[in-house]
Amino acid sequence: MTTVVQSPYSSEQIAAWLRGMLTIAWADGNFDEQEQQLIASITKDELAPCLEWDSLEVITPEELATVLGKNTPTAENFLRTAVMVAIADATYSPSEDQVLHQFCQALGEPEDILSALRHTLEDKAQATPVLTTPLTAPAPDALTPLRDWLDGLDVQDPRVARFLCKMIPSQCPFERDVTLFGRKIVHIPPLCKINPLYEQLVGLRFRALSYLADDCKEDVSEYI
C-alpha cells in the first residue's frame, strides 16, 4: 500500500508501537477465533516485512522504552493509542491495567491517566469495578482530563492509522437481549451507552480515516 506522506517515526518505532498495541489487545486473552484471525491479518499487513507472524511475540516494557524513548512525545502518543485499544470493547480488565501500568512506568509517563479508567470501566469476567474502593463512580467531570489527553493524539503514520481503523468498531453495536430457554436473562445496552469514552474512540477513528484519505490519498472504503 503506497502513501504520499513521510512518517516522523522510523520502521523500528512503528514495529514496536504496533507490537505494543497487540500486547494490549492480547492482555486479557478474551478474544475468539475470528478476533485472532483479525489480529493475525493486521499483523501480517501492517508489520511485514519487519516481523514474521509465526515468530511474533509480545513486547516487553523495557524493549518498548528502548525503541520509543522515555518521557518523549512518541511514547506519550503510543500510550494514547494503547489506552484506546484497551477500551475499544468497552471493558477495562485487570490484565490490561497491569500491562498499561508497566508501559507507563517504563516510558516515564504519569500513571494518573489510568485512575479514572479503574473507577469507570468494568472487568468483563467479574462485572465488578477493577479498583475496589468505597467510591462507586467518579464525579461527572472526573474523566475530563483523560478525555482531553486522549483527544491530543495526532495521527501521523499510515500504519498506525490503519491499525486503529481496524481495531476500533466502525459503528456502535446494537443493544440486544440475551435469552435462555425463552426467557430474557440480561439486557446488553449499546456500546456507546456503556463506554464513557466512546466519543474519544469515534473521534480517533475519524481522524485516522481522514488522515489516510486526505494526507495519504488512500482508498478508505474498506474501513467504512
Q: Give, for all 224 residues of the chain, the pLDDT tens digit.
A: 555 577 888 888 988 888 888 888 778 765 555 555 666 666 566 544 454 544 456 899 999 999 999 999 999 999 998 988 888 776 778 888 999 999 999 999 888 878 877 765 543 334 443 433 333 444 556 778 888 999 998 899 998 898 888 878 777 765 555 565 556 555 555 667 667 788 888 899 999 999 999 999 999 998 88
SS3 11: helix
Whole-model pTM? 0.74
Q: Which three cell numbers stand for residue 215?
A: 494526507
SS3 144: helix
Q: How would you label 28-37 residue by residue, b for 16+ Cβ within 10 Å and e otherwise?
A: beeeeeeeee
| pLDDT for position 132 | 37
Beta 176-180 vs 183-188: how paired, if at all? antiparallel
| pLDDT for position 102 | 95
Q: Identify any residues that bridge with 180 across adjacent strands, giving them in sequence order.
A: 183
| pLDDT for position 50 | 52
